[in-house]
Amino acid sequence: MEKASSRLRLLAVVMVLMFVALTTRLWFLQVLASDRFRSEARNNSVRTATSEALRGTILDAEGKRLVVNKLSLEVRVNRQELGADADAVVYRLADVLGVPVSDIRESLANPNFYPFQPIPVAEFVHKKVKFYIDEHQDEFPGVEVVETPVRGYPRGRMAAHVLGNVGQISGTQLDELQDQGYGQSDQIGRAGLELVYERYLRGQKGQQRFVVNSDGETIRALPPTPPTPGDNLVLTLQARVQRIAERELRTGMAFARTLNDSTGKPYKANAGTVVVLDAKTGGVVALASLPGFDPRWYPRGLTEDENNYLHNERRAPQLNRAVQQRYIPGSTFKPFVALAAMKEGLADQNEYYPCTGSYLPPSDPNGRPFTNWDPTGSGTITIETALRISCDTVFYPWGYEFWDMWRQQQLGENNEPFQKDLREWGFGSPTGIDLVGEDPGVVPDAAFAQEHPDIYPEGWQPFGDILLSIGSGNLEVTPLQLASAYQALANGGLRCVPHLVDRIQDSEGHLVKDVPDQCDQQLPYAPDQITYIRDALETVTSGGTASCAFSGFPLDRYPVAGKTGTAVRGGTFQDTSWFAGVALPPDDRQYVVVASVEQGGFGGQVAAPIVRRIIEGIYGVTDAVSPSCIEGPDR
Quick check: is 250 in a domain?
no
Mean pLDDT over 23-36 rounds to 56
CATH number at 466 reads: 3.40.710.10
CATH number at 124 reads: 3.90.1310.10
Quick check: is 536 in a domain?
no
CA distance 486 to 530: 11
> What are the DSSP E strand ranges found in 248-386?
271-278, 284-290, 353-355, 358-359, 370-371, 379-381
Rounded to 10°, the helix 239-256/608-619 angle is 150
For the segment 105-153, what is each residue's pLDDT rounded down to a tens digit? Answer: 988 888 867 676 788 888 888 889 999 999 999 899 999 998 878 899 9
The secondary structure element, H or E, covering residue 599 is none
Quick check: is 563 in a domain?
no
Rounded to 10°, the helix 334-343/392-409 angle is 50
CA distance 243 to 599: 23
CA distance 470 to 581: 18
Q: Are residues 225 and 354 in the same domain?
A: no
Whether the CB-CB separation of 114 and 79 falls below 8 Å is answered with: no
Q: What pLDDT does 303 receive?
A: 84
Q: What pLDDT does 233 receive?
A: 98
Mean pLDDT of the chain: 89
Answer with the one of 202, 218, 235 that is the final residue of a domain.
235
Q: Which residues are 591's β-sheet partners?
A: 278, 583
For the segment 372-397, what is each residue's pLDDT rounded down to a tens digit? Answer: 988 888 999 999 999 999 999 999 99
For the segment 45-96, what is each residue's pLDDT rounded down to a tens digit? Answer: 776 666 678 999 999 999 999 999 988 888 999 888 888 888 999 999 999 9
Residue 529 half-sphere exposure toward CB, CA atoms < 13 A: 18
Whether the CB-CB separation of 292 and 161 falls below 8 Å is answered with: yes
Residue of 317, 283, 193 lying closest to 483 (CA atoms): 283
Give Cα separations from 526 to 283, 333, 342, 489, 493 (angstroms): 25, 19, 10, 12, 9
CA torsion sign for 619, 621, 624, 629 is positive
Quick check: is 133 in a domain?
yes
- The gap between the terminal CA atoms of the chain, to the nearest Å, is 115
Whether the CB-CB separation of 329 and 477 falls below 8 Å is answered with: yes
Name the pairing type of β-strands 501-505 and 232-235. Answer: antiparallel
Quick check: is 224 in a domain?
yes
Residue type at 383 in one-letter notation:
I
Quick check: is 479 in a domain?
yes
Q: Are residues 226 and 334 in the same domain?
A: no
Q: What pLDDT does 40 receive?
A: 45
Q: What pLDDT does 27 receive?
A: 53
For the segment 174-211, what is each residue's pLDDT rounded down to a tens digit? Answer: 888 888 888 877 889 999 999 999 999 999 888 767 67
Residue 169 half-sphere exposure toward CB, CA atoms < 13 A: 20
Answer with the one of 462, 480, 495 that is the final residue of a domain.
495
Quick check: is 319 in a domain?
no
Quick check: is 403 in a domain?
yes
Higher pLDDT, 112 or 407: 407
Q: What pLDDT does 292 receive?
A: 96
| pLDDT over threshold 70, residue 447 | yes
Q: How many structural domains compose the chain?
A: 2
| 517 DSSP 8-state letter | -
Give Cα separations from 200 to 136, 191, 195 (angstroms): 40, 15, 10
Answer with the one of 495, 530, 545 that is the final residue of a domain.
495
Residue of 577, 495, 589, 579 lying closest to 537 (CA atoms): 579
CA torsion sign for 478, 483, 487, 490 is positive
Whether the CB-CB separation of 621 and 553 falls below 8 Å is answered with: yes
CA distance 277 to 437: 20
Whether the CB-CB separation of 489 and 340 falls below 8 Å is answered with: no
Mean pLDDT over 9-27 rounds to 61
For the segment 120-131, what is each residue's pLDDT rounded down to a tens digit? Answer: 888 888 889 999
User: Which residue range forms the structural domain that includes residue 491?
Assistant: 330-495
* Backbone angles phi and psi of 284, in degrees to 5: -80, 115
| 124 DSSP 8-state letter | S
For the segment 219-250, what is each residue's pLDDT rounded down to a tens digit? Answer: 776 787 888 999 999 999 999 999 999 999 99
Q: Are residues 366 and 475 in the same domain?
A: yes
- Residue 18 — pLDDT band, cuts 50, 70, 90? low
Give Cα separations from 412 to 375, 415, 448 (angstroms): 36, 6, 12
Q: What pLDDT does 300 receive?
A: 75
Whether the CB-CB separation of 212 and 47 falls below 8 Å is answered with: yes
